[in-house]
A and B are shown apart, each in its own frame.
Chain A
Amino acid sequence: MNTVSTTDALLYLNGVTVSFDGFRALNELSLIVEKGELRTIIGPNGAGKTTMMDVVTGKTRPDSGEVFFQGTADLTRLDEAKIANLGIGRKFQRPTVFENLTVFENLELSLADSRTTWGTLFGRLTPDRRDRIGATLARIGLTEQSGQPAGALSHGQKQWLEIGMLLIHDRTLLLLDEPVAGMTDRETEETAELILDLAKDRTIIVVEHDMAFVRSLGARVTVLHEGSVLAEGSIDHVQDDPRVIEVYLGR
């Protein structure tokens, strides 16, 4: 497993271990995601899905192991803001939009624009950026809510706004943590379409519980269990794997 070349993989995790008070949330996890791939990650509670995202986005430092982005950037040495500026975006399990800002302002903060304190102090919203926000609003269906505080949106609308916030920044890699949690069936379908559309020009990793949704994405599936990879392949392949059935699907 240690012989894998890191050259073309977009995201490369090798032997990553994270312990919390003796509990191994990640146990020698190795995972490779290629550029342009759409990957779904499933696994029972406590399998390490969210911890894996925390490691990739710099929220948690691994005890050991390597994490590389685009073959060169060592993510274990960078903080959240620097990793985000490399082009890694994350959507959280619970929708976390900025409730006291308007929908428009939420998107404005997510725009690929200067992130420095001076840049934000003196920056102006140019017409083309304003148009971008307008186009994104239309795409996530929130044009009418543009001037409303994001806190006034419904749960599903908040999820969409959060996806919009990822969209507008042109990230290379998107990490989506349970993007359809709490959505209606209709919203779930629309979200699956949106993700497939997005996956055409970027790399996406989706963590999800909803098996119907995972199936509708039709992507390569990685099953995590107790902090490491249990199985990997198409959804039919992993669903037939007896170990997967034992720990997860068969219960």
Chain B
Amino acid sequence: MALAYSFGPRKSAWSSGFWACFLGCGLVLAAVIPAINLWMPPNSAAALPDYLIPLLGKYLCYALLAVSLDLIWGYAGILSLGHGAFFALGGYCMGMYLMRQIGTRGVYGNPLLPDFMVFLNWQKLPWFWWGFDHFAWAAAMVILVPGLLALVFGWLAFRSRVTGVYLSIITQAMTYALMLAFFRNDMGFGGNNGMTDYKDILGWDVHQPATRLGLYLASVAALGLGYLLCRYITSSKLGRVLLALRDAESRVRFLGYSVTNAKLFVFTVSAVLAGIAGALYVPQVGIINPSEFSPGNSIEIAIWVSVGGRGTLSGAIVGALLVNAAKTWLTGAAPETWLFVLGALFVATTLVFPRGIVGLLRQVRWTRLRAPTPVAAGEQA
């Protein structure tokens, strides 16, 4: 039975090798890194200073954002160049909660109104700020606001069969429009300055190392769960429908699948994940402002995904971590070169290695496995 191994769907997405790899990475992120941070003497070579924890946490939020984009771009062919908008909306929901937690500790000491509203001479809290003093409400909004926007936007776009570059352009327009709106002071979200000077989250001081470690661990958990969710979706039959519609959309319709519904589903899931990433990002960086909506930010997300390898999920994580680590390092060491490096990376991933880092590694491993003789593979099976 030389061919027995090839009969059936592709290799299970949930093999023991996968779990070993997943749990290994999770263990390093969730246990080893905090342990080094807590127990290494601060001046030893292996020490992990406190400031690195929120930095790593920020990268993990970016990684979750990249995974959410890979789900729709790598698998369903929906290149959203406005995904930063969902991230920012999740961030704003969290920012509103954090602003309400400041209470009388603000510069103006107003128990109800955030400082920027007092400054604008507002007398009462706008209706859409209602409930944001409760964490549960804010958490629900983190999911609902990006999710509903994606549902409405996606329904209009996918129902009218807007695809490819046209869809990318309208997603850019969407995030740009939101940026302009959030820049306005009378929107009630702090305008140009956004929201900052947070004090507490769930009663914990956001500046304390323990709180920062907690937020970091929450980011690890969110990334892990978000990744598993995306992996479940992409390895289900729906994942194959997505791959099929990415390559031949009208053919999928003639098979009887609703392309609109399938796209709408993953687009909404993706937006919710992006919103959660944004909500975890804001308390770790300590600020949210309208620049998070800028079209350039959203394009950067696409670069992370293509550097890591689109359509791989794990590549999105690798790409987000590597590109952002490089950005942190280079903007410190040689700030004027960063945009050139970013541009060069994008050109290189497009022309030289279109499968990205993970795609390239898989190709190497695949050719090595197949190289001896195909019969050898059959005998093992």
Question: Residues of A with Cβ closer than 8 Å to B?
Answer: 57, 59, 79-82, 84-85, 89-90, 92, 96, 98-102, 104-105, 108-110, 115-117, 120-123, 125, 130, 134, 143-144, 146-148, 165, 169
User: Is B259 located at the chain interface by the 8 A CB criterion?
Assistant: yes
User: Is B120 located at the chain interface by the 8 A CB criterion?
Assistant: no
User: Is B169 located at the chain interface by the 8 A CB criterion?
Assistant: no
Q: Count A-B contacts at CB 8 Å.
A: 100
Chain A nearest CB, measured from B313 CB (Å) = 16
Of the A-B pairs whose beta carbons lie under 8 Å apart in the complex, a sample of 9, sorted by A's number, is A57-B254, A84-B255, A105-B240, A115-B255, A116-B258, A120-B237, A120-B257, A144-B3, A148-B6
0 or 1 for each of B291-314: is its CB under 8 Å from A? (1 = yes): 000000000000000000000000
Instruction: Give the size of the chain B interface in residues (CB under 8 angstroms).
Output: 31
Q: Are B257 and A81 in contact (CB under 8 A)?
A: yes
With A105-B10, A123-B237: A96-B256 Cβ-Cβ less than 8 Å: no
Task: Give the residues in chain B near A120, CB-CB below 8 Å.
Answer: 236-238, 241, 257, 262
User: Is B7 located at the chain interface by the 8 A CB criterion?
Assistant: yes
| Bound Cα distance A148, B8 (Å) | 10
Residue of A nearest to B265 (CB): A117
Q: Are A101 and B243 in contact (CB under 8 A)?
A: yes
| Bound Cα distance A59, B254 (Å) | 9
Q: Are B262 and A109 in contact (CB under 8 A)?
A: no
Give B231-262 interface residues, CB cut-off 8 Å to A.
Answer: 233, 236-238, 240-241, 243-244, 246-248, 250-259, 261-262
Residue of A nearest to B242 (CB): A120
User: Is B332 located at the chain interface by the 8 A CB criterion?
Assistant: no
Q: Are B256 and A99 in contact (CB under 8 A)?
A: no
Q: Which residue of A90, A115, A144, A147 contacts B257 across the interface (Cβ within 8 Å)?
A: A115
Q: Which residue of B5, B259, B265 contacts A147 across the interface (Cβ within 8 Å)?
A: B5
- Scoring B5, B237, B246, B248 by chain A CB atoms within 10 A of each residue's CB, the highest score goes to B237
User: Is B17 located at the chain interface by the 8 A CB criterion?
Assistant: no
Q: Which residue of B3, B244, B256, B261 contacts A98 across the interface (Cβ within 8 Å)?
A: B244
